A and B are shown apart, each in its own frame.
Chain A
């Protein structure tokens, strides 16, 4: 036991160092938020600091939040949640540092420093909020907590030991809207896991088309990662100075073959017949080709243009796809199998879409695909370039090659993705009604509101705000996009409204929310225990509410103006945020689904706001809900650093205590 303790404190010490260096960096770094380069570092623990140095402030925050999530390795789900929740916080980078530098930083970095606090007392101390609440909540079951903490520590230590060897990458993922998210991915994580992670961060609709894509700048290539791949491996092949990117996008072609198998397996039939195919027949096709004892590859044969080695010319050849590879029919030979010449087998190559090859390589069309070893990053004779007559043919080939290469994995991936999407949509449906009332999303809302606040604060009030507004309309559809750069603002606007609507809907909302909490989240997550027991909710809210307000406050001023245009409801937001203890239902929720807050401003004009919210909410809320611990969310964001009602902060505090005792 002692050993472990010792080990643990060592680890913590290391963490301290790390975070301290982080702290130093954050300060100065804060003023360079602007342009973001695509950075990708392969890191061992050893050169972590080095790579961290290169990170920008915002990235750091994100990263730290991820790290903290890691900390909580035992509570996997929780961790996921945290990450999801913390996502919204990124705004900090946008803040011009000087004026409110300190406070902003605290607020902005809230999740990370706060979470780090557990590891090291100093930084946390600067921000007064965090410590306060914890102590509060800690009271209830101190012994339990300690025991738990101990267990936690052991697990953590063991986990850390294991992880020390695991390779990790800091990956910047570009969103549709040009914003980006920075995550830490370890080599054991599959693309599926990273996607799930991103789902939580972005509140997108989780449909099966969401993909991670890799682009190769130099070769003008693009491919979607398969869900079962480990993300770190292909990224490790990138050269250090590469301008390659990882994108988070909806790619319809990813699983098109399972949605419309006829287009691939019956491609010879006329297109009209294919369109009219019955669902039953689609099922049969999938069953025949993917559920038998052997995966059947579409029977493809077409004339493609092949880029000749070294030469600039493209030559036509008749290519055939077989499960064992791509073949071509040599001149003057028949198409019989034995005469076919193997062009490429799939063991060592991946298939990529080529972009703009007409210009780059004088290809006959822009519908090109490429086969190459994943490690090849520069032009080389070992890359095979093929060009199709049309997009349809290209998709046919690329998909069929993937089927040949990955076989049943592809179908399994699809099924997993589909389950994910179904669960999510179920949630969405469920929560949509409630989503109309802002209540459900409230946790998120709050979080975002706060972040928004931060985002706004720095900017000259009116200007940026109005800008944001311009952005607002578009954002709704792609909620994920809402995130960092511009995003912060968009969400905010939306969020600010929430309070009002909340208020407006007050009664329905309150009810709705409660139902949510109690009904939808099966058992109140374990955190519940740590939460200030229901009885004192009244007290607790005020408690931690205060801290956040200051931060929010700074930012808030601007929003009102901006929102003013938007909503009548806006007026309320400013006051409500946290100052008034009772109004914001959010705190209540936090309180652990405690008694419905006496909804103060009842004006029920939710209508105006809804559109936006509707767009954002459903998805967001949907996402949130499934995981489970909504409370968790609230606390983290709500309190910012201060809202230490969640397990994590509890733990942190407990640990701090323990340490100080020792």
Chain B
């Protein structure tokens, strides 16, 4: 067979280097071509990750046993010899950019699997890659931060699956630097400064929300084919809002990143919620940021229980803890005394008297008051049982106003009683006591002290937020504006916001970190609009743009004029769906002879196609648990 010259660009030689020309015959297989090439290069290094990329045809010549003839490669082919894995700058859900090597030759679906394996995220089928929204000029300090987190050094071969070492996947344990990366991945970020939130792009309408979904990469084609180059930016996000089998032990990174994505979705109003819900989200964020700073080790040791040694260690610790708790137990058995002079006011009574001072005494879940301390041995003037009551704060530190508003249920209705404290400490104690009592707990409850502490730290928040500014505020001085969307920045001043968040906080402040994260996710998932990915479409036969909402279990049609859901179709009634790639139209048939067809305007119909197929696949996961299935099935979707 006749030999001819094939020129190959070797990426490693730099962009300006001349192509290498080798002499080949058409029956030479790709493996042979690479061998010749490497021999000619005379460079000693590991070429095993390298492969040939055919630029004109936009394809990898990965099957090394195929001959050039079979690949239909001729002398005019522009081949590039380059590594299959290249670094990308990956924007994580928590907003941090991480440099790592991603596979450029496999379909994106598999690339994501590789990335998730590297990061320690299970169920990669729920995530995908997005082209980032172009950002305006970067400041230099941002570039700096990008370099901090770098996983490109990690040998790909060392990334194995489920085992944990020191509570993290073993490839993070090699150096402090890598450990820092793991910490970034697995610990929630502190609340962002309000200005950071305010600066970010916020979708103002459903149509705005639809645009992001045009950016998803095609999971069945590789990064090279989609024009992504080495060192490009990509975003890693949860794409399918159907989170399977979350296990707080193995899913530390997954849960953390999911939380981050949810948090930003709420802060940026990507998903709508009511004011009450926003306050609860704010309270949870506050709690999570507090707890994650105080117990990150806990997190690790929890996750590390696999390791026998650590398990034993923690057992020891636990035993010690228990023995010492015996004495503690005794201590807590006897409830601390709480009595003091407070001022009381009953707004509903038709008396003109203002606050009157009495000697107050806390007993079990009741408060009693007496004329004075000296008379406190006798019958109280009144005893009020707080069980089941509502407790609301009315505090202004600057004005030294410390009011506890009690709404006490009685057969006749609710009685309003205000208690006025003189100072912060007194307020914190009585407030904590009232809170516990309203839940039917006495002061002997072990949470009393932590309740006091959390109230005090909340007061601190109110104190410091006059002088806000330093970006990621430290523990004691979180700006409440960091916890809510910018809409509420305008509506409430920080000091108005604090009591509202505090109010919601009392229901969550005893949660562990994991529980708090899960609670946040649950409330997010319970929002009516949760899980909807929007695409602007044009229904067949319709003349106006409408929005298709794709949810884990259904499709909804939203009329842009009314802004209302006009129709819902559930997947379990779906018989089939087809895509006409030529006219870019998706046609779906439902049971009962319901047929719909639409073309997609803000996203490729491939994206809609993948969404629907993906969700249908996800709904089958509970049955087929095997790990490889997702791959197979997803591939069949192509």
A interface residue numbers (CB < 8 A to B): 237, 239, 268, 273, 280-281, 284, 288, 292-297, 299, 322-325, 327, 334-338, 340, 342, 345, 347-348, 373-383
Contacts and interface: CB of A to CB of B under 8 A. Distances in A.
Given A268-B568, A342-B274, A373-B388, A378 B529 contact: no
B637 interface: no
A342 B411 contact: no
B274 A296 contact: no
A489 B516 CA distance: 59
B274 A322 contact: yes
Contacts of B523: 294, 323-324
Contact of A327 (B274, B526, B564): B274
Contacts of A376: 409-414
Closest 4 CB pairs of A and B: A380-B413, A377-B411, A375-B409, A294-B525
B409 A373 contact: yes
Contact of A336 (B246, B272, B390, B568): B272
Interface stretch (B132-140, B158-166, B221-229, B275-283): B275-283
A297 B272 contact: no
Contact of A296 (B243, B521, B526): B526
Contacts of A347: 507
B14 interface: no
Given A281-B573, A348-B388, 8 more contacts: A237-B411, A295-B522, A322-B528, A335-B563, A337-B527, A374-B409, A378-B412, A382-B413
Contacts of B276: 324-325, 342, 345
A277 to B, nearest CB: 10
Nearest to B485: A338
B220 interface: no
19 contacts: A281-B572, A294-B525, A295-B526, A297-B526, A322-B274, A322-B526, A323-B523, A323-B526, A324-B274, A335-B564, A337-B272, A337-B273, A348-B390, A374-B409, A375-B409, A376-B410, A376-B412, A380-B414, A381-B413
Interface in B510-560: 518, 521-529, 553
A345 B568 CA distance: 28
A239 B413 CA distance: 13
Nearest to A296: B526
B487 interface: yes
A487 B248 CA distance: 56
Interface residues of B, number: 37
Contact of A288 (B409, B507, B553): B553
Contact of A338 (B275, B413, B528): B275
B508 to A, nearest CB: 12
A347 B438 CA distance: 12
Contacts of A345: 276
B277 A324 contact: yes
A375 B277 contact: no
Interface of B: 243, 246, 269, 272-277, 280, 388, 390, 409-414, 487, 507, 518, 521-529, 553, 563-564, 568, 572-573, 592
A375 B526 contact: no
A488 B455 CA distance: 61
B528 A299 contact: yes
Contacts of B280: 324
B412 A373 contact: no
B127 to A, nearest CB: 17
A108 to B, nearest CB: 38
A342 to B, nearest CB: 5
B414 A293 contact: no
A284 B573 CA distance: 11
Contacts of A239: 411
A294 B526 contact: yes
A338 B411 contact: no
Contacts of B487: 338
Given A268-B568, A381-B413, A293 B521 contact: yes
B410 A294 contact: no
A328 to B, nearest CB: 11
A278 to B, nearest CB: 9
A194 to B, nearest CB: 21
A337 B409 contact: no
A280 B572 CA distance: 9
Contacts of B388: 348, 373-375
A148 B359 CA distance: 56
A471 to B, nearest CB: 39
B172 to A, nearest CB: 27
Contacts of A292: 525
B366 to A, nearest CB: 14
Contacts of B525: 292-294, 296
Contacts of B246: 293
Interface centre among B272, B413, B518, B592 (most CB of A within 10 A): B413
A345 B504 CA distance: 12
Contacts of A379: 413
